A and B are shown apart, each in its own frame.
Chain A
Amino acid sequence: MSRLPDDLETLAGEYALGTLEGAELHRAMQLEAKDLRFREAVISWRLRLAPLDDTAAPITPTRSLWVRIEAGLGVSRQKPVAARPSRLAQLWDSLNFWRPLGLAGGMAGLVLAAVLAVTVARGPVAPLYVAVLNTSDGRAAAVVNVYSNGQVTLIPLEDISVPQGRIIEVWTLQNREQGPVSIGRIDRARTLKLDLKNLGKPEANHLFELTLEPPGGSPTGKPTGPILMKGLAARSI
């Protein structure tokens, strides 16, 4: 196979190295998904760099780790191979889903492709921006879609346990000067239309976040409770 141009070769190297963020990361993920030569270059870089991983001292996991893994097998795949993946499993399945959802601009190519597939199935209008909200342990727990007409929907991908006497408040952070702004409250996980009036137009990298708050919402007007999930908006493709 012929050589890649230097810029693509180094992009593949940086991707394997793990240093990319934002638009560059997004580009690398897209190329990995659709360009065989680029994918091969990435694999070559992973193999070149692999000996460096082996300089980490091995640490025998605690005994309970395998028990935890085994307990997860039943729920993560009912029937091997033949099982049709759930919406969440499809997201999960994409290697790119593992890539950072933070800091980046128009990142997460295949994540967005997967999310878009979900969204497109729901209606003919594709959102302008999509944010995948992750829980603290990295599960995709909700998707926020921002449409060109300004409409915003929050679609939970799993149930959220809300303690007695608490509600879920939805926040967005458009800029640091203004700080987080409440855009809605719900009592449990359900699809929700959000109100962005009085706010700027949504853009990539705006943060969406869900916290637990007292009934009636945060007493301070800023998030006070634990963060349930959060994620950054990215332009859909």
Chain B
Amino acid sequence: MTGLERYGSIENAIRAVASGDRQALRAIYDAEGARLNGIAFRMLRSRAAAEDVVQDTFLKLWEAAGRFDGRTGYGRAWLTTLLRNRTLNVLRSEARTELVDDFEPLGLETGSESAEERMTRLSDEHALKRCLEGLDAARRKLIVLAFTEGLSHGEIAAKLGAPLGTVKSWLRRSLLSLRECMG
């Protein structure tokens, strides 16, 4: 038995990390490192910055594993949250508060892939796909881009050329529809 299987679940592996088991940390890295690196790269658009964030995330996991509440089925999302929060921190506090003449948001081009392309890669088995498809295309795009690129309310508004208040109210209504749909 290799990797995560030895621990039975990622939640068990996180608990092992909390007790100082480096093998468990390595097992999680082997199972999740490439996935996390891909998520960070999509938001940061830089291989080096993405790997830095993954490094920070695993050091963070090493230190903070004891804080994981251990609930079944949340280990992977909890780990991803460590990465996402770190990535958002890099996106917001560093790049975007540079003390330079230009305080404008960084380039907001969508990159090589559209929100709809990302949608098509959502597995059909997820309620999220069906429920996102229930939103109209513009609102769906809003949710998908916000989440996958780490955009703030203000950046979405700038990107769409829409007033901030409008963006917020669109997002909120979309979230409530999603919640109704997904339960």
Interface residues of A, Cβ cutoff 8 Å to B: 6, 9-10, 13-14, 17-21, 43, 45-62, 65-66, 68-70, 72-73, 76-77, 79-81, 85, 89, 92-93, 95, 98-103, 134, 136-138, 171, 173, 176, 180, 207, 209, 223, 227, 230-232
Q: Which residues of B in the span 67-123 have a Cβ within 8 Å of any Cβ on A?
A: 67, 73-74, 76-78, 80-82, 84-86, 88-94, 96-99, 103, 118-119, 121-123
**Which 4 residue pairs of A and B lie closest in terms of their CB atoms, listed nearest first?**
A80-B20, A100-B92, A98-B85, A13-B175
Partner of B85, one of A52, A93, A95: A95
Partner of B86, one of A58, A77, A98: A98
Distance from B180 Cβ to chain A, minimum over Cβ atoms (Å): 10
Closest A residue to B69 by beta carbon equals A43
Closest A residue to B86 by beta carbon equals A98
Q: Complex Cα distance A219/B106, Å?
A: 29
Most B Cβ at <10 Å: residue of A18, A51, A66, A209: A18
Q: Is B92 touching A21 in the complex (CB atoms < 8 A)?
A: yes
Closest A residue to B173 by beta carbon equals A10
B54 at the interface (CB under 8 A from A): yes
B172 at the interface (CB under 8 A from A): yes
Partner of A66, one of B29, B123, B126: B29
Partner of B34, one of A48, A58, A136: A58
With A14-B172, A103-B92 in contact, is A61–B34 under 8 Å at CB? yes
Q: Which residues of B in the span 40-82 have a Cβ within 8 Å of any Cβ on A?
A: 41-42, 47, 50-52, 54-56, 58-60, 62-64, 66-67, 73-74, 76-78, 80-82
28 CB < 8 A contacts A-B: A13-B179, A18-B151, A18-B152, A43-B77, A45-B175, A48-B127, A49-B128, A50-B80, A53-B80, A55-B148, A57-B42, A58-B35, A58-B37, A61-B33, A65-B55, A66-B33, A68-B55, A79-B20, A85-B63, A89-B63, A98-B86, A99-B89, A100-B91, A101-B89, A102-B92, A103-B93, A103-B154, A138-B89
Partner of A51, one of B59, B84, B128: B128
Q: Complex Cα distance A192/B66, Å?
A: 36
Closest A residue to B65 by beta carbon equals A80
Q: Is A61 touching B88 in the complex (CB atoms < 8 A)?
A: no
Distance from A43 Cβ to chain B, minimum over Cβ atoms (Å): 6
With A9-B179, A51-B123, A138-B94 in contact, is A59–B37 under 8 Å at CB? yes
Residues of B near A9 (CB, < 8 A) are 175-176, 179
B18 at the interface (CB under 8 A from A): yes
Residues of A near B20 (CB, < 8 A) are 77, 79-81
B22 at the interface (CB under 8 A from A): yes
Distance from B158 Cβ to chain A, minimum over Cβ atoms (Å): 13
Residues of B near A50 (CB, < 8 A) are 76-77, 80
B139 at the interface (CB under 8 A from A): no
Q: Complex Cα distance A60/B85, Å?
A: 21
Residues of B near A207 (CB, < 8 A) are 97, 99
Q: Is B97 touching A46 in the complex (CB atoms < 8 A)?
A: no
Q: Complex Cα distance A230/B35, Å?
A: 31
